Structure 1
Amino acid sequence: MDAKANGPSAKQSGRAVDGPTNPMVTPLLTDLYQFTMAYAYWKAGKHNERAVFDLYFRKNPFGGEYTVFAGLEECIRFIANFRLTEDEISFIRETLPSCEEGFCDYLREIDCSDVEVYSVSEGSVVFPKVPLLRVEGPVAVVQLLETPFLNLVNYASLVATNAARHRFVAGKSKLLLEFGLRRAQGPDGAISASKYCYMGGFDATSNVAAGMLFGIPLRGTHSHAFVSSYMSPDEIVEKSLQSADGSSTCEDFVSLVQTWLNKIQWLHSLRGTFGETNQSELAAFTSYALAFPNNFLALVDTYDVLRSGVPNFCAVALALSDLGYKAVGIRLDSGDLAYLSSEARIFFHTIEKEFGVSGFGNTNITASNDLNEETLDALNKQGHEVDAFGIGTYLVTCYSQAALGCVFKLVEINDQPRIKLSEDVSKVSIPCKKRCYRLYGKEGYPLVDIMTGENEPPPKVGERILCRHPFNESKRAYVVPQRVEELLKCYWSGKSDKAREELPLLKDIRQRCIKQLEQMRPDHMRRLNPTPYKVSVSAKLYDFIHFLWLNEAPVGELQ
C-alpha cells in the first residue's frame, strides 16, 4: 500500500482502500490547467462551491455500438489516497511562482473527504452520453480529479471493449490468451492491458507481473530461441524421467522419444507424407518435456510445421503418455493458420487411431502471429482447428482506434444547472444532476437507457414512460419496462453517512462483463452494421435541456 494510504481519506466507514496500482498515479498526474483553475477558484473564493461533473463519452469505439466500462477501482483507489506531499506542493509553487503562499496552505489541507462519486458498476456495457461517473464536491478539488479520472478510465474502457470484441468473434469455446506485454505502450500500458483484457473476457495472460498483482491465470511456453539453441539430442545430459504416479522411472527418456519417432516415421513413410525431422528441434522438445512433463506445449514452426514440428511433438507427447503424462499441445506462430491447424488435427487423429492413444486427436492447438479481430473472423470463415488464440499487438495497442475520448463536464454548481453549448450538437452537454436507468423489455434484453432529473420519480415496471432523444425532437418512443435497473450507485461517499458499494474482485467484475454482454440483443453486438442502442432523456429533462439551451445561447442580430 502507498504510504499516503494511511491518511484520513484512505478510509471510509472504517474500511481501508489501497493506493493506486501504479505509484505514478498521484495528484500531479494531471494537466497544468487543473492547478491554474484551482488557484483561480481559490483566489476568487469559489474553491469550496459545490460542483457536479459528469464523466462520459460521445461515441462507441471500433465502429461498434457498445463499450465496456473499466477503470473505476483505480479511480476510487486514487481519491481514497488523495493528498499532496510537501515535495509536490513545492513543485507547484515553483511552477506557479505568482501564487500566494495561502494557496499552498490550502493544498496541504485538501483531500477527497468532501467528494462523492456515483458510478456505473465496473464491467458494465455502457453507451454514449450516459454518465459513467458523477463526481460531486468542492469545485477546485473535483477539478483536480478530472485528468487523472480520464486517464484511468479512457484506456481501461477502450482495451476492455477491444477484448470483448475479440471474444465475441472468437466464440465462447475458444481459449483467449493476452500476449501483448512486449508490444504495449510502456509498463503501465502492459499492466493495464493484462488486467482489462481479462475483464473483457480473455482467459489468461503471459504477463507475470499482472498475474501476481491481479491473480490472472498465466500461460506461456518457449520461444524459437529455445528451439534453435539446441544442436542435437546428445546435449541432453539428464535423461531420466519419473512416471506421473511416481511408481517407476524411465532412465533414458531421449531413447523412448526416438523410438516413438521411428514408429511415426515408419507409419507415414508408407503414405509418403514426410521424411526425416529436424533433430535439434526434437532435442529442444525433449528437453522442455523433461523440465515440464505436466505442461508440455511445443512451438512447432521453427523449421517446418508439418514435416518436422508436428511429428517431433507427437514423438515426445507419446513418450510422455507412456509415463502417464498428457501433453498440452502445440503453438503455431506463422504460416497459413487455417490450413496448418487442420492438417495438424488430422495428424493427431491419425496418431490416436493407429496407436490407440485415447484423446490424442483432441490435442490442443494454439495460434498466435499478429492476430486481430479481422483475422479471427477470416479464420472462422475459412474453417480451422485452433483451440486457443494468443493475441498481442493489435489487442493491447488498440490498433484500430487510438483512444475512447471520454470527457468530464460541469453540469451543476451551487445547485444551478450548467450546460456546455457547441455548434456540433454531439458536443452539447446534458445539464444538472441526473439519475440514469436501463429499461428492459419482455425478452429480457435492454431496450433503452434513460436519464432523468435527480428529483423525478423513477421509471416503474409496467408503467409507460416517454423516452426522448436529448436533442432530436422527432426521435421519441413510449416504453413499458419489464425491469428497471438504476445505473449510478455510490462508490465513494466521503465523510457523509451515505451507504456505498463495495469494490468487487476482478474475477467478479469479469463475470459481470461476460453476463452483461450475453444479455445484449444480438443486432447491437454484430461486427457489421450493428443497430445503435437508444439513449434517451425523460420528457421533463428534454424540456429543461432546451429551455436552458435557449436561455444560455447568445441571440444574434442581423444588420
Structure 2
Amino acid sequence: QAAEREPSARAPPLLTDLYQFTMAYAYWRAGRHQEPAVFELFFRDNPFGGGFSLFAGLHDCLLFLRSFRFTDEDVEFLRSVLPPATDPAFFQFLRGLDCSGVTLRSVPEGTVVFARVPLMEVAGPLAVVQLLETSLLCLVNYASLVCSNAARFRLAAGPRRKLLEMGLRRAQGPDGGLTASRYTHIGGFDLTSNVQAGFLFGIPVAGTMAHSYVTSFTSLEEVWPQTLVAVSGDPDPVDIISLTKGWLSRVCELLGAEPGKIREGELAAFLSYAISYPQNFLPVIDSYSVGCSGLLNFCAVALALCELGYRPVGVRLDSGDLCRQSVDVRRVFRLCSEHFSISAFDSLIIVGTNNISEQSMAELNKKENQIDVVGVGTHLVTCTKQPSLGCVYKLVEVRGRPRMKISEDPQKSTVPGRKSVYRLLDADGHPFLDLACLAVESPPEAGVSLRCFPLGCDDSPVSVTPAQATCLRQDVFTKGQVRRDRLTT
C-alpha cells in the first residue's frame, strides 16, 4: 500500500515529450483522436551483449495508467508552451482525458524476454495511447535494464551466495535509487541498504557501520556505557571492556599477533557498537589493517559477546584482495572456534564489498574464497556496461488496419499488425522459441509443425514442432482497472 501512495507524483502525465501533445492536438484537430489504435513496446537488442533480458516496470506502468489525468494546473501550463494557434477547446479535451478506454496486454513482471518480441500492447483511442508513449518507455527502460543487470550478477554469483544491493549513493537521483533497489530485488538480489525501498516495497534491509564510525573513536575512554548484561538474565552488568581486553590477550597469543599494532580506537568503536547491538554485531574490519588490528579486535569483542550468551553475526571486508582475506579470516574463525570451544564462530558470515562488477563477481567463483554475502553498488545501479535498454514504442495498427515503419535503416523497420505472442516449449518443458503472429492467425498447437521466420534475419523459414505453447502476454489493464491477478510471473 505504501508503494501506491500518490503514484501521480512520481509519473505525472506531464512527464513526457512536448511532441506528444503537438501530435495529439493534430489528431484532435483532424477529428482522428478517437480512432482505435495499437502500439507495441519492445527492445531491439539483448542488453550487456547477453542473450536475454528480464521485463520489469509493469507495476509502475499500471499505477501511471490508473492515475492518468490532467489537472487544471497541468492544462494551464500546456496552454503556455503549445503554439498560440492551438484551439482553446483542445485544452478542455485534455482536461477530460483518462485511460478508461485503454487496454494493456503485457508480459508479466519478472519474465525472461528477448529482443524484438512485443512485450506490451497498448490499445485505445489514438490521441491517448500516443500521449502515453514517453512515460511508459521511461518506466520500463531502466527498470528492465537494472533488473536484467541484477540477474546477470545473480548468475555470476551462483545460488549459494547472498547479494546485497547498496547503490543508493551512486544512483542517478532519488528516483533512480528507489527504482534500482526495487528491480534488483526482482532480478535476484536478497537485500538492500535502501531504507525507503524497504518501507515502500517490503525488501529486506541490511547494514551496520561505515569506516567513519570506526575512525571517529580514538580510545576506550569514549566507550559508554562500559557494561553489558548477560543473556542469562543475571541482573549484575558485566564490565565488557575488561572482559574484551582479556579475550584480546588470548587471541593475540593464539595467533602470534603483536598487541602494539592493534588500534585502540577501532576496538573502542567495535565495543561501543556491540554494546548497542549485541545480537547484530557485524563491523567493517579494514579501516586500518585486517590482519594486524581489525580481525583481532573483532574476535576479542565477539568472544566476549559469546561468553555473555550473545551471537555475533560476522564481519565486512571492503578493500584489498577480498578472496585471500576471506580465506584468512575464516581460518582465524575456525581456530578460535576450536581453541576456545566457541561453536558460534563456525557460523560467522563474511561480507565482501569493494567496487564489485559482474566480471569480478564471476572471478570470485574461480578463486578460493569464503565470502557469504556480496554487496554491490555502482556497477549494479548505474549499469556501467550499457546505459540504456533502448525500448521503443511503435504504432502497428489504426482503425483495424496494419501500420508499418520502413525506415532508411532496416533494423528500425517494424512488423505491422496486431499480434499474439506465444512461448513454445519442448518435450522436457523447456522454452525454445517465442513466436509472434498476427492476432487473427490460429494459435500454435502442441505436436503440430509450423513454419516461422527469425525476426531481424534474412534467413529462410524454419520448421518447429512445439510440445506445448503458452500465451506470453495477458490483459493487465482494462477499462481503467488493474488486473492484479496477472501482474507477476
TM range (shorter): over 0.9
* Alignment RMSD (CA, Å): 1.8
Q: Match of 1:171?
A: 158
Instruction: Please state whether the residue corresponding to 1:220 is helix, strand or coil.
Output: coil
For 2:90, the equivalent position in structure 1 comes to: 103
Cα displacement (A) at 1:247: 4.3
**Hey, what does 2:65 align to over in structure 1?**
79
Kindly report which structure 2 residues correspond to 1:87-486, keeping only aligned pairs within 5 A, or say none. 87-96=73-82, 97-269=84-256, 276-470=261-455, 472-486=457-471
Q: Give, in angstroms, the shift of residue 414 of structure 1.
A: 0.1
C-alpha separation between the residues in 2 aligned to 1:200 and 1:455?
Answer: 34
**What is the distance in 2 between the residues matched to 1:21 and 1:279?**
50
Q: State the distance in 1 between where 2:88 and 2:250 align.
A: 85
Q: Secondary structure in 1 aligned to 2:62?
A: helix
Deviates more, 1:382-391 or 1:282-291: 382-391
Distance 1:21 1:370, change over 3 A: farther
Deviation at residue 447 of structure 1 after TM alignment:
0.6
Residues 244/444 of structure 1: CA separation in 2 closer, same or farther (3 Å cut)? farther
Cα distance, 1:21–1:326 mapped onto 2, change above 3 Å: farther
CA distance in 2, matches of 1:470, 1:165: 24
Q: Structure 1 residues 274 and 460 mapped into 2: Cα distance closer, same or farther (>3 Å)? A: farther
User: Given that residues 35 and 126 in structure 2 are in contact (C-alpha distance below 8 angstroms), is that contact kept between their aligned partners in structure 1?
Assistant: yes
Structure 2: stretches of 5+ with no match in the other structure: none
Paired residue type of 1:70: A
2:33 is equivalent to residue 47 of structure 1: yes
1:502 equivalent in alignment to 2:482: no
CA contact (8 A) 1:89 1:108 kept: yes
Q: What secondary structure is seen at the aligned counterpart in 1 of 2:10?
A: coil
1:57 alignment partner in structure 2: 43
Q: Secondary structure at the match of 1:366?
A: strand
Task: Say if 2:19 is the partner of 1:36.
Answer: no
Could you list the per-position Cα deviations for residues 242-287 of structure 1 after superposition, in whole angstroms to 9, with x for gaps in the alignment? 2234345442111111111111011222xx6775411110110010
CA distance in 2, matches of 1:344, 1:334: 14
CA contact (8 A) 1:205 1:217 kept: yes
Q: What code does the residue aligned with 1:228 have?
A: T
CA distance in structure 2 between the aligned counterparts of 1:378 and 1:448, rounded to whole angstroms: 31
Residue aligned with 2:485, SS: coil
- Once residues 121 and 174 of structure 1 are traced to their aligned partners in structure 2, the CA distance between those partners, rounded to angstroms, is 27
Conservation of the 8 A alpha-carbon contact between 1:275 and 1:307: no
The 1-side partners of 2:145 and 2:420 are apart by 24
1:52/1:413 contact within 8 Å kept: yes
**Structure 1 runs of 4+ with >6 Å offset:** none
- What amino acid does structure 2 have at the position aligned with 1:85? T
The separation in 1 between residues aligned to 2:408 and 2:6, in whole angstroms, is 38
| Structure 1 residues without counterparts, runs of 5 or longer | 3-16, 513-559
SS at match of 2:152: helix
| Change in 2 beyond 3 A, CA 1:122/1:443 | same
The alignment partner of 2:287 has SS state of coil
Give the aligned partner of residue 529 of structure 1.
Answer: none
Q: Which is worse superposed, 228-237 or 421-430? A: 421-430
TM-score, scaled to structure 2:
0.96
Q: Please, which moves more after superposition, 418-427 or 281-290?
A: 418-427
Paired residue secondary structure (2:443): coil
Structure 2 SS opposite 1:447: strand
Structure 2 distance, partners of 1:22, 1:86, is 14
Q: What SS class does the counterpart of residue 62 from structure 1 fall into? A: helix
Q: Which deviations, in whole Å up to 9, do the C-alpha atoms of 1:90-134 show, x marking residues without a partner?
A: 000111122111101100111000100000001000011111110
Aligned-pair distance for 1:428? Answer: 1.2
Q: For residues 130 and 465 of structure 1, what CA distance do their matches in structure 2 show?
A: 18
SS of residue in 2 equivalent to 1:381:
coil
CA contact (8 A) 1:300 1:330 kept: yes
Distance 1:376 1:364, change over 3 A: same
Correspondence for 1:70 among 50, 56, 73: 56
Q: Secondary structure at the match of 1:169?
A: helix
Distance, in Å, in 1 between the alignment partners of 2:326 and 2:259 is 17
CA displacement, residues 211-247 of structure 1 (integer Å, 9 cap, x when unaligned): 1000110000111111111111121231222223434
Question: C-alpha distance in 2, partners of 1:109/1:55?
Answer: 26
The superposition leaves residues 380-427 of structure 1 with CA deviations (integer Å, 9 ceiling, x where unpaired) of: 222211111110011001111100000000000000000111233221
In 1, Cα distance between the equivalents of 2:468 and 2:161? 32
Residue 457 of structure 1: SS of its match in structure 2? coil
In structure 2, C-alpha distance between the alignment counterparts of 1:361 and 1:373, rounded to whole Å: 29
- Secondary structure of 2:79's match? helix
Please list the CA deviations of residues 163-183 of structure 1 after superposition, one character each: whole Å capped at 9, or x if unmatched: 000000011111100110111
> In the alignment, which of 441, 458, 478 is matched to residue 493 of structure 1?
478
Question: Match of 1:525?
Answer: none
Does the C-alpha gap of structure 1 residues 137 and 404 become closer, same or farther in structure 2, counting only changes over 3 Å? same
| Partner SS state of residue 124, structure 2 | strand
